[in-house]
Each structure stands twice: as structure tokens, then as C-alpha cells.
Copies of this chain bind each other. A is one copy, B any other.
Amino acid sequence: MSQAVQTAVIGVTGYSGAELARLLVRHPRLKGKPPIFAGRVDEQHQKQGGIPLREIHPQLIDSHGAGDIRVQPFSWELFEDLGVDTVFLATPHEASREMVPEARKRGFRVIDLSGAWRLEEAANRAVYKFEDEGSADALFMQSQAVYGLPELHRKEIAGAGLVANPGCYATSVILALKPILAAGLVNIDCGIICDSKSGVSGAGKAPTARTHFMYAADNLSAYGIFSHRHTGELLEQLSLDASSITFAPHLLPIPRGILSTVYVRFNGAQTSSAIEACYRDFYHGSPMVRLYGANLPQIQYSVRTCYADIGFQLSKDGQRGVIVSCLDNLLKGASGQAVQNLNVMHGWGEAEGLE
């Protein structure tokens, strides 16, 4: 069990990049070996030894000007020179498609936060319109990638060279459904409904009409119904047919947090205690899932934590169930999960640095 792993982060300018930096800097296993941050650095900043992180994320400023970690100009050689073991990619999908094959050739283990390598089926990947789709390199990489949801794929992640960190919506829905689907409790013929609501950070840092305060505030809007690109992850990870699941995301007027309300019909009447036991069995040994039983979690409880919270309610006759699943889209939905994957890949405690 190694204690001296050198990590690196490419692309730290976005919201999940900032959270990743925050988590890694204080991770107990990385003490003495702070992560290397790399990205595009203009000439001005190159002369100054890189861009101080707090210039990109002012809220990361330290007391009295100390602690100015700097983003260095990216190169694979730099990583090799510094003995990097595991690389986090917090880059756009396209960048990740380009960088991962090279990173793997050079022997780095990769945790990719983008959607580039999450999907096995070409049909599901179609929404991304990757330029390298179908190329030998891409197909090979795809075959090596492990879907980075430790609660489902802990073993494969431990040995993986490329971990595809799941989508935020996908995480919230898959964790809500997997236990009862795996136990064969759900009547799939009638279809499963996933009504998800996400805070605005899920839409990214780029200023757009949709992320304008005037659009999002005092509002709620549905979008991407039947077409959101996280749908493929649901289908593959839950082994469902597209006709069996309806996924409708909504944009909430809050900075962060996802709440998914998932509706199922059971195969026969269920009891609250049976369903609770089903979840408890499935998530035994999964420290980042908190179970609320027949209570319901709220977005507030999970925001700024690395947990996924799950609760449920049954109809009186036990024929129908509503599962409510909450998480912070930037943490369990992105960077927290990435660090959880780091922990699993290195055999550390799965919750280390996450509580």
C-alpha cells in the first residue's frame, strides 16, 4: 500500500476543478506530496512560475498571501520528471478523448471527469459526436475504461488504468435504482420515471443565456427530456432499454445540489422494511452512501459533502415506490467521486479525505 503517490490535475479552471483542488490539497494520503496542477499558462504567468490558484478561484485565497499553489504549463514530460502516478482530467470531453491515449501510453493512471469514456455503446456515445469515434485507439481505450462508480465497480476500479468518472445526474439516478433493480423488485414494463433537478453549477462556468442570474433565479425549467446525454449512462449501468426509463432534468435556482425523484412500480407489494433492507444490504461497505430509510433526504443535507443520500416512500398498497436521491453535483457528482476513485485505485480507505 503506497503512501507516496504523486497526483496531477489537468484543467482546474472549472467548478469541479476548484473542488478537486480543495479535496486533494487536504487529502491525508497526499501530505508532503501536493498535487501538481497543470494547464494553459500565458507567457506573463510563465515568468512568474505559473498562475496562482487563487487568481483563478479567488475564494481559495489563503491567509496573509501564503499557500499560493501555482498552475504550471502542461506537458507530459513535466509529469514524467516529477514522478506523477495518477492524473485527474478536469478537461472538456474532446480534450480528454485526445489526451487519454497518450497518457496511458506513457503509463499514467487516469481519472477522467469528462463524459469521454463513460459509454460502452456507440449508439449511446453518438450524442457526443466525438471526432475519433470508431478509431482503433478510441475503441481500445474504451474497452479499457472502467465506469467510476465505486458502489458498483469497486473491484474493477482498483485495478484500472482509466477510470471514467460518472455524470452527476447519472450518479444520483443509478445509486437510487441499482439495489432494487438488482434485486428484481421493479416492474420494468411500466417504465421508470426519473425526475431530476440540478443547481446551476451543473451547467458549467461559461457565462451563457441559461446561466445568467436573470434566467435561473426565481425560476424552474425542464430541459433535455428524452435527450439528455447522461441517459446513456443510466441505460448501460442499469441494463435497461431506452423505452423503460424516462429521464427529465430540470434547472434549479440554487448554486449546487441534485435531487432526483425516481418512480417505480414493484413486482408485487413491498414493505418499507424489505426495501430498506435491500438498500442496506447493497450499500453495506459503501461509506459514501447515507441511507435515510423511509425518511427523505433534502438537497441541503448533501450539499458540500461527498455523500449520496437516499430515502424512499411506498404507496399504501406497497405496489409503488418513490425514491429520493440527493448529492452535491460537484462532489459525489464529480470531484468527490474522483477522489473516492483515487482512494479505491490505491487501496486506501474509500472515504479518506472525503468527510
A243 CB within 8 Å of chain B: yes
In the complex, what distance in Å separates the CA atom of A317 from the CA atom of B244? 12
| Interface size of A in residues (CB-CB distance below 8 Å) | 75
| Shortest distance between the CB of A93 and any CB in chain B (Å) | 21
Chain B residues near A319: list those with CB within 8 A.
Answer: 243
Which residue in chain B gives the minimum CB-CB distance to A218? B254
A289 CB within 8 Å of chain B: yes
Return the contact of A221 from the options B15, B218, B222, B299 (Cβ within 8 A). Answer: B299
A122 CB within 8 Å of chain B: no
The answer to whether B214 touches A200, judged by C-beta atoms less than 8 angstroms apart, is yes
Q: A213-B212, A298-B221 are in contact. Are A195 and B246 (CB under 8 A)?
A: no
Instruction: Report the copy number of this chain in the oligomer.
Output: 4
A105 CB within 8 Å of chain B: no
A197 CB within 8 Å of chain B: yes
Return the contact of A298 from the options B219, B291, B301, B313 (Cβ within 8 A). Answer: B219
Interface centre among A65, A212, A246 (most CB of B within 10 A): A212
Chain B residues near A15: list those with CB within 8 A.
Answer: 214
| Shortest distance between the CB of A214 and any CB in chain B (Å) | 6
A12 CB within 8 Å of chain B: no
- From residue 100 to 149 of chain A, which have CB atoms closer than 8 A to chain B? none
Return the contact of A61 from the options B246, B301, B351 (Cβ within 8 A). Answer: B301
Chain B residues near A301: list those with CB within 8 A.
Answer: 58-59, 61
In the complex, what distance in Å separates the CA atom of A248 from the CA atom of B324? 11
Chain B residues near A223: list those with CB within 8 A.
Answer: 296
B-contact bits for A282-325, CB 8 A (1 contact / 0 none):
01000111111000101111011001010001111101101010
| Shortest distance between the CB of A72 and any CB in chain B (Å) | 24
Chain B residues near A58: list those with CB within 8 A.
Answer: 298, 301
A37 CB within 8 Å of chain B: no
| Shortest distance between the CB of A225 and any CB in chain B (Å) | 5
The answer to whether A222 touches B320, judged by C-beta atoms less than 8 angstroms apart, is no
B-contact bits for A196-220, CB 8 A (1 contact / 0 none):
0100110001011101111111111
Partner-binding segment picked from A1-9, A39-47, A259-267, A333-341: A259-267
The 7 A-B pairs with the shortest beta carbon distances in the complex, nearest first, are A207-B207, A190-B190, A195-B195, A221-B298, A200-B213, A219-B300, A213-B216
A-B contact pairs, 27 of them (CB 8 A): A58-B298, A59-B301, A63-B289, A63-B307, A64-B291, A65-B291, A191-B265, A193-B193, A193-B263, A200-B213, A200-B217, A205-B212, A207-B208, A207-B209, A211-B212, A212-B212, A213-B215, A214-B255, A219-B300, A220-B254, A221-B299, A222-B259, A225-B296, A248-B263, A250-B261, A252-B253, A304-B304
Interface positions of A (Cβ within 8 A of B): 15, 58-59, 61-65, 189-191, 193, 195, 197, 200-201, 205, 207-209, 211-223, 225-226, 243, 246, 248, 250, 252-255, 257, 259, 261, 263, 265, 283, 287-292, 296, 298-301, 303-304, 307, 309, 313-317, 319-320, 322, 324, 351, 355
